[in-house]
Structure 1
């Protein structure tokens, strides 16, 4: 399925609004989930768009994934992309998970450094 993607400045605003809504829902539904962030190029090219879901601890993240809540996070991400008119084939390819615990341990709490490191691994 080849759908076009809106790359206008309004698309970024719609994406932020949609991801904020997804984040607020997830905070209510998913124990240990804290926040999310997204990264991508200025044109919101689907190939460069990535959403990172952040949990408090590795144990909370593992529990969420073991109990099927990963599927819910993929659904919320896909819904946000759709609302922002960003066409992706599979939201799962644009999602990763991390924890405050790991950032503190490996990056002294510096999320900018951690996200840069994660960006290199994609």
Structure 2
């Protein structure tokens, strides 16, 4: 990994770690956050995946507009480290441990290739 790519990735991780810690307190059912990116097409290729315990928790968060809260937090923290997303709705996705277990036998590496 080139130095500039490593620095970008570290900045993404730093921003998402802050969001993760806040979301664990504020969003019921939220468990963790991860990302994928193709850095030759960055930031357009950035995908942020917010992982919940169950699909029902995702639906409840969306009903309470906590998905909007998460997107705003992600966008704000990324902006603080110099990464501007045109439209966070295209970059932020929601998934669940329940779905990964059912569809990918709990293999997140395999599942994230689909995002």
TM-score of the two chains, using structure 1 as the length reference: 0.85
Deviation at 1:61, TM superposition (A): 0.8
Matched, 1:86 2:83: yes
Q: Deviation at 1:46?
A: 1.3
Q: 1:99-118, aligned counterparts within 5 Å?
A: 99-118=96-115
Task: Please say if residues 37 and 45 of structure 2, whose CA atoms lie closer than 8 Å, have aligned partners that are also in contact.
Answer: yes
Q: Which has the higher contact order (CA 8 A, sep 6+)?
A: 1
Q: TM-score, normalised by structure 2?
A: 0.90
CA contact 2:5–2:39 (8 Å) conserved in 1: no
Deviates more, 1:101-110 or 1:81-90: 81-90
Q: Which runs of 5+ in 2 are unaligned?
A: none
Residue 38 (structure 1) aligned with residue 35 (structure 2): yes
Among 68, 73, 76, the alignment partner of 2:70 is: 73
